[in-house]
Amino acid sequence: MRSNLKKWLAGYYQFWLNNRLPAQKQQRLQQKNLFIFPSLLGACYLVLITIFWLLGTNYANNLILGLCYLLISIFLLSIFHTYLNLHGLHLAVGNSKPVYAGELAQIELYVMRRLKRQYNSISIGWGSSLSQVIDWQGEDKVLVKLPVRVLQRGLFQPPRVSLKSYYPLGLMRCWCHLAIDTTVLVYPSPVKFDNTHSSSSAGELQEGNLSSQIISGQQQEFQELQLYRNGEPLTQVAWKQFARSGVLYKKHFTDYASDSSALNWHNYPGVEPEMRLQYLCYEALEFAAQQRSFSLQLPGVEIAAADTKSHLNAVLSALALFQINPDLSSTGQY
Amino acid sequence: MAAVVGKLATISIGWLMLGYCAALLPLFAYLPFWMLALAGLTLGWQLQIYRNKISAPGKLVKFLLVVGSVALLFYSSGNLLSLRGFVGLLCLAFCLKLLELQVKRDLYLMVFLGCFVSACQLLFSSSMSAFVYVLICILIFHGCLYSAQLQPQHGVDERQAKGGAGAKFRFSSSHWEIVKSVLTMFLQGLPIAIVLFIVMPRVGSLWQVPINSDVAKSGVSDSLSVGDISRLNQDNSPAMRVTFDDNIKPDNSKLYWRGIVLADFDGKTWRRAEKISTTALSATQRSQLYQFDRATPAQTYSYQIMLEASGQNWLYALSTAQVDNPQIKQWQDYSLTRKTLLNSRFQYQVRSHIGYKADPEPLSEAQLRLYTALPSNSNPRTRALAQQLASQYTDTGRLIDALLQMFQSEFSYTLEPGKLTVENPIDDFLFSAKRGYCEHFASSTAFVLRAAGVPARIATGYQGGQWSSDESYLLVTQAAAHAWVEVWLDSRGWVRLDPTTAVAPQRIAQGADSYLAQLQSATGLSSRFNQWGLLREMRLRLDSINYQWHRWVLGYDNQLQFNLVKQLLGGVDSWRISLLFLLAGAIAISPFALIKLWRSRLSFTDNNLRSVAKLEKKLLKFGLSRARGETLANFLQRSASQTPENRQALKQLSAAFNTLLYDPRHDSDKLVRERIQHLLKELKY
C-alpha cells in the first residue's frame, strides 16, 4: 500500500516535472525552473535564531534580540543570494559523440553566464549524485562533460541534469532539474563471434562437413542457407536439408580472399538478434581496422560496400538503430 | 547532504580560528583564568593536528578532558546553574569541540557555537562598543560559513600545495572576496533588521533565567556613619540620567534626588527605620497626592529616569514622587524601591510634586518618638548645645536659622575631613574638627534637632547634575551623592533642610562636579584637573551618545514601541499596525526593487523614445495629436495629409523614425537622430 503510494507519487512527480519543464535544446535558469529551499544547515540556522530569540527575550536583552533580527534578515537575504547565483545562467547542448553500449557517454553541455556577474560553487550532475563543480576560470562559457554509463544500443536520451548551489552561506539549496533535448547514438558493444557459442542448427550444418570447401582453389567458408534458384550450380545444393524439408537450399559460402566482404544479418543463424548486432559491430570494426571495404545487409537495411570513415559510421549507426522505434528512448545507468 | 559532509579547506579553518579567538577574548574577563589556558591549549593542539605534527586526541583523552574541565569549572564557579556557570559550560564546549574539527559538519557546529558564545558577551556588557565587537565576531563566523561554500577544488589544491608543512593564514584575494561578500550581506540585512527591531513585539521573559547577580553594589549606601571615611573619593561614573518632559530645566538647587530615608540612629550610624520603610504608603497619603496632582499641575515635574545597575533596589526621585508602575513600591516616607534588585539598567517614569506638603497633620505618638529618638549616652556636648538652643528659641524656624548661622560662620567644607573619634563623633565634629562634607553636616544637624525635640530624619541621594551638550537630558554622576535633613514642621509637614548650603552654597548652586573640581584643583589634589573643562566636555559628549544608545536601543521596550508607533501612525489600531508591517516590508524590499529598476532601465531606447516625444510635442503645436493605438507611421501620414506644406518633411521624418526604431543595426543611430533633429526644425507653421 505504502510502496504503491510512493510509486504513484514518484510517477506523478515525473509527470509534473515533465509538464512543467519539458526538454529543450537551450535552457535559461529562471524563476520557472529554479527551486529553492533551506538546506539542513539552514534549518540549524533557524534553530540558532530561535535560541538567540529565547536568550534575548528571557534576559530582556535588546542587543541579543537585535542580533537575532540581523540573523533573520541574513537568512532571508540568503534566499535571494542563492537564487541569484543560478538565475540567468544559460545551458546549451553540445555535440555528443556516439558510444558503444556499456561505455561511458560524455554528454557535453555548455554553461554560459552573463557578463559582469559572478557565479560561484555551482555543482552539476545527474540527479542526486552530483559530480562536478563548474570552474569558470574567467570564461563566460564553460564546456561541461557529464559522463553517463549507457547499457543499451540505440538512441540514448540522458536523464535530467541537476544544477545545485548552496552559495553563499550554505543556508539555502537552490537547484533545478533540467531535461536536455539531446540524444546520444549508442552502438552495440562489439563482441567477437565465437563458434562454441553458436546454436545447434549452425553446428549441425558444420557437422555435415559443409563448413569449408575448396572451390576453384579458393578457401571458402560456409555462411548460411539460401533458397536455390534455377541455374545455380548443383554442387552448392544442400541435399541434406532437401531430404529433410523437400525445399532446395543452396549453401552460401563466403569468400574470405575477396576484397569485398559482406556483413550479413543471416551470417549468425539461430543467434539472438542483439547478439548478432554485437557480432556485426565487431566485424565491421575489424574490417575498418584492416581498411577493407565491406557491405552490410540487415533485414530492411542494405549498405553498399565501401571503406571510408563515413561508411563505417553509417554501418555502425545502422546497427545501433536497427529496429529501434525512434520515439522510444533507452535509459541508461548512472 | 553533499554540503554537510566534506573535507575542510585551509581557508575555512583560518577563519574559524580567527573567530574563535575573537569570540572568546572578551569573555575571559568573566571566566575563571584557567579557561584562557585551556582555550590556548586547544587552539595550539588543533593547529598542530592540522599541520600533521600530532594526531587527534583519542577517545579516552577527550573523555578525560571533558570530565576534568567540567569538574574544574564546577570547582571554580561553584554553581553551574548560574549565568557564569552557563556561559562557562558553553565556552568549554566551544574550546573542546575545536579538537574534533574534521569534517564540514564540525565546522558548522563550531560556527553556531561561536555565534552563541559571541552573543553571550552581551549578557555582561551592553555598551555600543561591545555590540560592534560582537557584530564583527558574527561577521567572521559568517565569513567562515562563506569560505566553506567556496569551490572545493580551491581548498584541495591549497592543501595539496602546502602539504602538511605550512598551514599559514595568508591574506590572499579570496579573503577579501569573503570580507566583501559577507559585509555586503550584513549591510543589506541591516535595514530589514532595524525594521524588525522596531516593529517586532516584545514578549516578556518566558521563564526564570539565572541572571548576572554579580553586579557590584554602587551608589548611595543604605546607612550613614559619621567620620569613618577620612576622604571622599570622586567617582565620575554615571549614576542616572534624567529626561524631563516638555523640555523643562529646573534649577540646580531644586534637583534633590531623594533616595533613602534614614530615621534610626544608634549614636554612630544612621539606618533605615524598619517600621517606616516597610510600611506602604497609606491610602490617605495616596489620595492626597492624587488630589494635589489634579489641583496644581504647575508645581509638578514629569520626567524619566534611567538608573544604572546598582545591585540595590532604591529608586530616586525629586521631592515627593508619584509613580504609576507595578514594579515600584512606595513607602510611608515616600521613598521608592523596586521589587527586585537592579542588576541591569532600569528606566521609569515619575511625576514629582515640588510644593507638596508631606504629612502636614500632627505626627502620631509613635512617629514622634521614632523621629526624636536618640541613644541616651552619646555626644553630651551636642545635647547640651541643643538644650541651650531649644530654650533660647521656642520657634523651630529660628532654631534652625541659628544652627545654620553657626555653620556658616565657623565651619568649612572639605573632602578630606580626617577621622573623628569613635565614641562621640558629633561632639568631635561640632566642637573641634569643624570641617567636613554633607554627611557630617546633615548628621549633626539631625542630631541637634532631635536633641531639641524636633522630629528630623536624614535623606540620602544625589544632588544636582550636568546637562548634556545638547541639553536634552541631565547626567547625575556618583560624585553628586549627597545627604541632607528632613525636618517636620507644624502644619508644613516634612521640609527639606540642607545644612551644606549654609557652608558651601556653591556646592548646591553649581552642582557637585564643577564645585568639587574647583575644590580639588585649588588644593592641588590633582593637577590634571586643570584641563578639566575640555575633559568634561568630551565626557559629556561621549555620555550623550551612550545615553541615546541606552535610551533608544537598550531601553526600547513595549512602552517605547507603543509610543513610537503611536507617534508614527497617530494611533494603535490593528489596521495601522498592519499598514506599518506593509510599510516595513516595502522599506526592506525597496533597495532590491531600486536595483532591479536601475538594471532594467532602457538605455538605448530611451533616447529614441525621447525623440518620439519631441516629435509629438512639436506636432501638437499644429493641433495634431497622436491617437491612442495609432502607430507612428500612421500618425505621420495623417499629419502630412492635414498640413500639406510640411508633407515632404514629414515623409522624410517617417522614414528616419522607421530606421531609428526598427533597423536592427544601431551603428548609425546618432546620425539618424541628428537628421530627425534637423527635420523637426524644418517643420513650418
Which is more confidently placed, A103 or B119? Answer: B119
3 state SS of B163? coil
Contacting residues of A for B3, CB less than 8 Å apart: 39, 41, 166, 170, 173
Chain B nearest C-alpha distance from A327 (Å): 36
- For residue A275, pLDDT over 80 is answered with yes
* Average pLDDT, rounded, for chain B: 80
What ranges make up the beta strands (E) of B399-523? 412-413, 435-436, 456-463, 466-467, 474-477, 481-489, 493-497
* pLDDT for B25: 93
Mutation target among B109, B135, B145, B206 for the A interface, most CBs of A within 10 A: B145
Question: For residue A215, what are the β-bridge partners?
Answer: A218
Residue B576, CB-side half-sphere exposure with 13 Å CA sphere? 11
10 Å Cβ neighbour count for B675? Answer: 17
In chain B, the N- to C-terminal Cα span, in Å, equals: 76
Q: Do A169 and B555 touch (CB under 8 A)?
A: no
Question: What average pLDDT does range B135-162 have in this prediction?
Answer: 71
- For residue A271, pLDDT over 60 is answered with yes
* pLDDT for B599: 66
User: Comparing C-alpha atoms, which of A165, A169, A168, A171 is closest to residue A46?
Assistant: A171
* pLDDT for A260: 53
Contact criterion met (CB below 8 Å) for B198 and B561: yes
Grid coordinates representing A208 are 555435415
* Average pLDDT, rounded, for chain A: 79
DSSP state of B222: S
DSSP state of B523: T
* Cα A240 to Cα A248: distance, rounded to the nearest angstrom: 10
Question: For residue A143, what are the β-bridge partners?
Answer: A110
* pLDDT for B37: 92
- For residue A218, pLDDT over 70 is answered with no
Exposed/middle/buried for residue B4 (C-beta within 10 Å: 0-12, 13-18, 19+): middle
- For residue A115, pLDDT over 90 is answered with no
Contacting residues of B for A57, CB less than 8 Å apart: 202-206
| Cell 516616607 -> residue | B333
Contact criterion met (CB below 8 Å) for B146 and A121: no
Which is more confidently placed, B369 or A241? Answer: B369
Question: What average pLDDT does range B655-680 have in this prediction?
Answer: 78
* pLDDT for B275: 77
B211 at interface of A, judged by CB pairs closer than 8 A? yes
B595 at interface of A, judged by CB pairs closer than 8 A? no
Contact criterion met (CB below 8 Å) for A280 and A209: no
Question: For residue A26, what are the β-bridge partners?
Answer: A92
Q: Do B556 and A62 touch (CB under 8 A)?
A: yes
**CA atoms A288, A290, A295, A298: torsion sign:** negative
Q: Do B190 and A70 touch (CB under 8 A)?
A: yes
Phi, psi of B427 (to 5 degrees): -55, -45
A239 at interface of B, judged by CB pairs closer than 8 A? no
* Cα B105 to Cα B84: distance, rounded to the nearest angstrom: 28
User: Comparing C-alpha atoms, which of B567, B543, B547 is closest to residue B198?
Assistant: B567
User: Comparing C-alpha atoms, which of B438, B433, B437 is closest to residue B419?
Assistant: B433
Share of chain A above pLDDT 70, in %: 83
Phi, psi of B349 (to 5 degrees): -105, 135
Question: For residue A161, what are the β-bridge partners?
Answer: A126, A178
Distances (CA, A) of B388 to A92, B289, B409: 112, 38, 19
- For residue A219, pLDDT over 60 is answered with no
Contact criterion met (CB below 8 Å) for B307 and B475: no
Distances (CA, A) of A30 to A84, A110, A140, A284, B644: 9, 17, 18, 47, 53
B153 at interface of A, judged by CB pairs closer than 8 A? yes
Contact criterion met (CB below 8 Å) for A125 and A162: yes
Grid coordinates representing B420 are 573623628
| Cell 517636620 -> residue | B488
* pLDDT for A68: 96
Q: What is the signed CA dihedral for B27, B30, B32, B37, rounded to 10 degrees?
A: 20
* pLDDT for B203: 78
* pLDDT for A69: 95
Strand arrangement of the beta sheet that strand B264-265 belongs to: B223-225, B269-271, B264-265
Q: Do A69 and B196 touch (CB under 8 A)?
A: yes
- For residue B168, pLDDT over 70 is answered with no
Question: What average pLDDT does range A292-296 have in this prediction?
Answer: 84
- For residue B429, pLDDT over 90 is answered with no
Contact criterion met (CB below 8 Å) for B467 and B500: no
* pLDDT for B132: 94
Q: Do A123 and B2 touch (CB under 8 A)?
A: yes
Distance of alpha carbon B464 from the chain centroid: 22
Question: For residue B485, what are the β-bridge partners?
Answer: B458, B497
If pLDDT is split at 50, 70 and 90, which confidence band does A222 have?
Answer: low
Grid coordinates representing B63 are 573523555
Question: What average pLDDT does range B643-657 have in this prediction?
Answer: 84
Nearby residues of B258 by Cβ (< 8 Å), 6 or more positions away:
B316, B317, B318, B319, B321, B334, B335, B459, B461
Which is more confidently placed, B302 or B537? Answer: B302
* pLDDT for B112: 95
* Cα A293 to Cα A286: distance, rounded to the nearest angstrom: 11
At B404, which amino acid appears? L
Q: Which of A226-235, B325-334, B624-633 has the lowest mean pLDDT?
A: A226-235
Distance of alpha carbon A70 from the chain centroid: 48
Q: What is the signed CA dihedral for B128, B129, B131, B134, rounded to 10 degrees?
A: 180
Of A57, A72, A121, the CB nearest to B151: A121
From chain B residues 301-330, the ones with a CB under 8 A of any chain A CB are none
DSSP strand pairing (B435-436 vs B412-413): parallel
Q: Which of A323-327, B51-55, B174-178, B290-294 has the lowest mean pLDDT?
A: A323-327
Share of chain B above pLDDT 70, in %: 86
- Return the ∠ at Cα B174 (arms to B170 and B177), rounded to 5°: 130
Which is more confidently placed, B249 or B585? Answer: B249
Supply the DSSP string of B393-423, one letter for each residue. Answer: --SHHHHHHHHHHHHHHH-EE-S------SS
- For residue A238, pLDDT over 90 is answered with no
Q: Do B196 and A52 touch (CB under 8 A)?
A: no
* pLDDT for A200: 42
Exposed/middle/buried for residue B14 (C-beta within 10 Å: 0-12, 13-18, 19+): buried
What ranges make up the beta strands (E) of B151-236? 223-225
Q: Do A77 and B145 touch (CB under 8 A)?
A: no
Contact criterion met (CB below 8 Å) for B52 and B61: no
Chain B nearest C-alpha distance from A26 (Å): 23
- Return the ∠ at Cα B264 (arms to B263 and B266), rounded to 5°: 145
Question: What average pLDDT does range B228-233 have in this prediction?
Answer: 56
Taking every pair of C-alpha atoms in chain A, what is the biggest distance, in angstroms?
Answer: 111
In chain A, the N- to C-terminal Cα span, in Å, equals: 29
At A20, which amino acid appears? R
Which is more confidently placed, B35 or B545? Answer: B35
CB contacts < 8 A, A to B, total 138
* pLDDT for A211: 39
B115 at interface of A, judged by CB pairs closer than 8 A? yes
* pLDDT for B171: 47
Share of chain B above pLDDT 90, in %: 13
Residue B285, CB-side half-sphere exposure with 13 Å CA sphere? 18
Nearby residues of A183 by Cβ (< 8 Å), 6 or more positions away:
A96, A155, A156, A157, A329
In chain B, count of helices (H) and strands (E)? 25, 19
Q: Which of A17-21, A327-331, B642-646 has the lowest mean pLDDT?
A: A327-331
Q: Which of A96-105, A207-216, B373-382 has the lowest mean pLDDT?
A: A207-216
* Cα B631 to Cα B456: distance, rounded to the nearest angstrom: 98
A10 at interface of B, judged by CB pairs closer than 8 A? no
* pLDDT for B638: 86
> Of the ranges B159-168, B519-528, B591-600, which is most confident?
B591-600
Is ipTM > 0.85 here? no
* Cα B254 to Cα B674: distance, rounded to the nearest angstrom: 79
At B269, which amino acid appears? T
User: Comparing C-alpha atoms, which of B42, B20, B10 is closest to residue B115?
Assistant: B20
* pLDDT for B510: 67
User: So where are chain B's domains?
Assistant: 10-169, 223-543, 603-682
Question: What average pLDDT does range A329-334 have in this prediction?
Answer: 44
Q: Do B150 and A121 touch (CB under 8 A)?
A: yes
B84 at interface of A, judged by CB pairs closer than 8 A? no
User: Comparing C-alpha atoms, which of B395, B386, B367, B540 is closest to residue B457?
Assistant: B367
3 state SS of B494? strand
* Cα B677 to Cα B611: distance, rounded to the nearest angstrom: 8
3-state helix, strand, coil split of chain B in percent (to 5) is: 55, 15, 30
User: So where are chain A's domains?
Assistant: 2-187, 195-321
* pLDDT for B213: 57
Compare all CA atoms of chain B with the CA of A79 and give the residue at the minimum distance: B185
| Cell 506644406 -> residue | B645
Element (H, E) at A178: strand A172-178
Mutation target among B185, B206, B590 for the A interface, most CBs of A within 10 A: B185
pLDDT in tens, B173-230: 688 889 998 998 998 888 888 888 887 888 777 776 666 655 555 667 777 877 655 5
If pLDDT is split at 50, 70 and 90, which confidence band does A210 have?
Answer: very low
- For residue B17, pLDDT over 80 is answered with yes
How many residues does the structure list for chain B? 685
Of B123, B153, B555, the CB nearest to A133: B153
Of A59, A77, A135, the CB nearest to B123: A59
Contacting residues of A for B181, CB less than 8 Å apart: 168
**CA atoms B84, B87, B93, B96: torsion sign:** negative
- For residue A29, pLDDT over 60 is answered with yes
